[in-house]
Amino acid sequence: MLADLERWRQTGAIRAEQHAVLSALVRKERFSVFVELHTILYLGVVSAIAGVGWTIQTHFQNLGDAAILSALTVALAGSFYYCFSRGPGYSTGRVETPGFAFDYVLYLGCLVLGLELGYLEFRFHLLQGSWDHYLLISGCVFFLLAYRFDNRFVLSLALSTLAGWFGLRLSDFPDFVGRSLRTSTLIYGGLVAAAGAGLFLAGVKKHCLDTYLHVAANGLFMALLSALFERHAHGLYLLALLGLAGLAIAAGVRVRRFAFVVYGILYGYVGLSVRLLLDANSFTAVLAYVALSSTIVIVSLVVLARRFGREE
């Protein structure tokens, strides 16, 4: 490879600067730590919030409400000031982040907001029986911030927060008692997919469609899969799961999104296996089926992953 690079430099196919960079990469003098740094930042933010939450829960009587709320408010104001003062203007298209840590500062601010609202309700019971409105309020704020700063971390947080509120509100209806979680998840998954598609067609942050579809797909798959663990589950649940799995695989292949292919294969495999093995009496037969079928699934995923990698 180094010989090829030298030949390309001499023939003018690449510039001297490009030759220097590519040669360093080939000799492994430089390597990317992009994924590692983002992982560390994400884990750092989540760990910091978990630590603050544990400290508040354990020592809130000694610290006092004023100290806790003041500290959380200062952290919240500082995070949002940093983002609004350094963030680019709003655009319906993709916006480049102004700094490496920018997205994580915004994510930190959103988590602090959720923590502060939770503490207010825990200590003062401002909304009492309607405490679930905190989820609606914070979810809407997260949604607005996600679109204002083009942050898919915060968009995922907004969708998951609104999912909690949606499930709680829907479960209040008597018709859903006993199956509220599954019903609300199915309805929510359909609404999220429809909302993402609607915003995509409207030309608003079209690159965020993947986030909506990831949330919707996992919600729908898990709701359908949960029904199959019931011994007397209706066969329509299995047909719906396999149909959704086939749709995910076909769409994933068509639009070059390997994650959806994985969703379709894994959820479809688990759902089909549950129904086949639920009434099985032979441990040997179950073990043989799991060993053989799981090997086939893993090999298939590896082959597909390599094919996707070559084509992309």
Give CA torsion, residues 94, 100, 102, 107, to 10 deg: 90
CA–CA–CA angle 94, 99, 102 (5° rounding): 85
Tokens of 167: 């499930």
Tokens of 308: 């996707």
Reported as a pLDDT band with limits 50, 70 and 90, residue 203 is: very high
Tokens of 172: 């209040």
Identify each DSSP E strand in 105-213 by its residue range: none
pLDDT at 104 over 70: yes
Average pLDDT over every residue of 14-43: 80
How do residues 145-184 score in pLDDT, each as one tens digit?
A: 999 999 998 999 999 999 888 875 554 443 333 455 788 8
Q: What is the pLDDT of residue 169?
A: 56
Q: What is the pLDDT of residue 177?
A: 38
Domain boundaries, the chain: 59-170, 177-312
CA–CA separation, 239 and 224 (whole Å): 10
pLDDT at 88 over 50: yes
pLDDT at 290 over 60: yes
Query: What is the reported pTM?
Result: 0.82
Q: How far apart are the first and last CA of the chain?
A: 22
Q: What is the pLDDT of residue 307?
A: 78
pLDDT at 209 over 80: yes
CA–CA separation, 157 and 154 (whole Å): 5
CA–CA separation, 84 and 81 (whole Å): 5
How do residues 275-285 score in pLDDT, each as one tens digit?
A: 888 878 888 88
